[in-house]
């Protein structure tokens, strides 16, 4: 470990229990290498969300068929759940830059797809690369949380949200000016390659065992995975369908449609960066409950909105509400299981959670075909209610003494 890392660890431990704990700047300074991977993930998926109407129109499919095509990424994520712990053990601190580099290298794949089958295959490849990167980067941050005793997940997920919002806005401008998706995703790939190469963590990974997650460690994975899944399904619903909702249901232009996911990303970034202080002042159970109430209110606004401006308010409330739920769920997983099982546990929770990004659009596609987008959004407001009993059960679990 370098002297700078040791200094930050000691400083973080000294600040445990103080009202606002570690600041966002300190958290990002400590986790700057894995934070680059969070930025890479955000840059791609922000552009992808903004180009949803383009992909759908190019493929010539209806809402239900398009939702089914998005399942390709879920198949990739299932492979990532199996591969990530093995990659982590085999490559150590080289695993994150290699995973991020493989992801950046395939950014342009969906933009090149000429038909539904090729588009589906491209999403499978993207799902594997994105899932590997996601699992390993969250494991690195969780290890740093264990070393410092400070909450770091919200700050890093804030980087994802900020990158997502900037990418979505830039993509909307590119669409308005006639820049094609191939040029947009190629430019993002070139931008992200140097970020991937330098995303090597500041601390060596905790030695991981090949044991399966079972027994007492299984309950945190199941409960935290369910909470993260619901939060990410809600987030994915707005990400994937907000542009179409604004453009088709509410009659907005391309830039107005791209503003939907951009508003979500910006407010999620605000919520996650603020969550760095909030989780140090209030209990994580309280923060999750408050976020859930806000997200339910936002979904209701989106479902009832007669004009884009009201929908944007709803997207903002959803973003602020769900922004802290996923990072808290992942952070709790790392603390509730033994350190030797951390990567395996986080891999499972991350894949369970991030499967929501692709299951939700499928559900929305089917609902939209039968009942319209408003009904689809309303359903996810009901699903969010399930978080309340889940987080109560998590709050009763003991932290691992190691």
Q: Which domains does the chain have, with CATH numbers?
A: 3-395 (1.20.1250.20)
**How sure is the predictor about 363, in pLDDT bands with cuts at 50, 70 and 90?**
confident
Largest CA distance in the chain: 60
| Phi-psi domain of 151 (left: phi exceeds 0; alpha: psi -120 through 50; beta: other) | beta
User: What is the percent of the chain with per-residue pLDDT over 70, rounded to a whole number?
Assistant: 87
The number of angstroms, rounded, from the C-alpha of 73 to the middle of its chain's C-alpha atoms is 14
Comparing 63 with 228, which gets the higher pLDDT? 228
Note the pLDDT tens digit of each residue in 115-158. 999 999 999 999 889 888 888 888 888 777 777 777 777 788 88
More confident residue, 288 or 337: 288
Whole-number pLDDT of residue 20: 43
* Whole-number Å distance between alpha carbons of 127 and 4: 35
Element containing residue 392 per DSSP (H, E): helix 387-395
Evaluate whether 123 touches 115 at the Cβ level (below 8 Å): no
**How does the average pLDDT of the chain come out, rounded?**
81
- Torsion of the alpha carbons at 249, 251, 253 and 256, rounded to the nearest 10: -60
pLDDT band at 102 (very low <50, low <70, confident <90, very high): very high
pLDDT at residue 136, rounded to an integer: 84
Least confident of 78-87, 182-191, 318-327, 385-394: 78-87
The rounded distance, in Å, linking the Cα atoms of 120 and 380 is 25
Give the pLDDT confidence of 283-332 residue by residue, as tens digits. 888 999 999 999 999 999 998 988 888 999 999 999 999 988 988 888 78
With 0-12 / 13-18 / 19 or more C-beta atoms within 10 angstroms meaning exposed / middle / buried, residue 69 is buried
- Sole residue written with tokens 């969010």: 384
Is pLDDT above 80 for 1? no
Tokens of 55: 């992909």
Residue 398, classed as helix, strand or coil, is coil
If one compares 347 and 385, the residue with the highest pLDDT of the two is 385
17 — pLDDT class (breaks 50, 70, 90) = very low
Interatomic CA distance for residues 388 and 83, integer angstroms: 32
The model's pTM is 0.72
Mean pLDDT, to the nearest integer, of 16-41?
74
Output the DSSP codes for 43-96.
Answer: HHHHHHHHTHHHHHHHHT--HHHHHHHTHHHHHHHHHHHHHHHHHHHHHGGGHH
CB 384 within 8 A of CB 296: yes
In whole angstroms, what is the distance from residue 43 CA to residue 130 CA? 12
Cα atoms in the Cβ-side hemisphere of radius 13 Å centred on 379: 16
Q: 401: number of CA atoms within 13 Å, CB side?
A: 0
Rounded CA gap, 277 and 275, in Å?
A: 5
- Looking at residue 2, its pLDDT comes to 46
């Amino acid at each position: 470990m370098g002297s700078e890392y040791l200094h930050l660890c000691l400083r973080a431990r000294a600040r445990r229990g103080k009202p606002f704990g570690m600041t966002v700047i300190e958290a990002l300074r400590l986790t700057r290498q894995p934070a680059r991977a969070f930025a890479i993930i955000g840059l791609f998926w922000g552009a992808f969300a903004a180009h949803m109407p383009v992909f759908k129109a190019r493929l010539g499919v209806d809402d239900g068929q398009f939702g089914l095509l998005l399942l390709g990424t879920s198949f990739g994520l299932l492979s990532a759940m199996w591969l990530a712990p093995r990659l982590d053990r085999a490559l150590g601190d080289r695993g994150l830059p290699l995973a991020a580099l493989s992801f950046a290298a395939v950014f342009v794949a969906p933009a090149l797809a000429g038909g539904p089958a090729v588009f589906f295959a491209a999403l499978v490849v993207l799902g594997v690369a994105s899932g590997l990167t996601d699992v390993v980067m969250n494991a690195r941050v969780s290890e740093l949380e264990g070393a410092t005793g400070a909450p770091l997940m919200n700050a890093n997920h804030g980087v994802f949200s900020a990158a997502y919002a900037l990418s979505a806005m830039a993509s909307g401008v590119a669409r308005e000016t006639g820049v094609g998706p191939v040029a947009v995703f190629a430019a993002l790939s070139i931008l992200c390659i140097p970020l991937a190469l330098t995303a090597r963590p500041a601390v060596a990974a905790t030695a991981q065992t090949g044991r399966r997650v079972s027994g007492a460690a299984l309950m945190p994975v199941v409960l935290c995975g369910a909470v993260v899944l619901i939060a990410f399904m809600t987030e994915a619903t707005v990400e994937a369908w907000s542009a179409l909702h604004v453009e088709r249901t509410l009659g907005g232009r391309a830039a107005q449609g791209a503003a939907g996911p951009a508003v979500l990303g910006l407010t999620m970034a605000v919520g996650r960066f603020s969550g760095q202080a909030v989780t140090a002042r209030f209990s994580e159970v309280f923060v999750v409950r408050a976020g859930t109430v806000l997200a339910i209110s936002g979904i209701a606004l989106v479902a009832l909105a007669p004009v884009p401006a009201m929908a944007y308010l709803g997207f903002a409330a959803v973003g602020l509400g769900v922004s802290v739920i996923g990072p808290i769920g992942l952070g709790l997983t790392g603390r509730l299981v033994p350190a030797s099982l951390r990567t395996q546990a986080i891999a499972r929770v991350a894949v369970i959670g991030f499967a929501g990004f692709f299951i939700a659009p499928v559900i929305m596609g089917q609902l939209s075909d039968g009942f319209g987008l408003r009904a689809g959004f309303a359903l996810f407001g009901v699903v969010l209610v399930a978080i309340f009993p889940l987080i109560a059960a998590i709050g009763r679990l003991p932290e691992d003494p190691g």
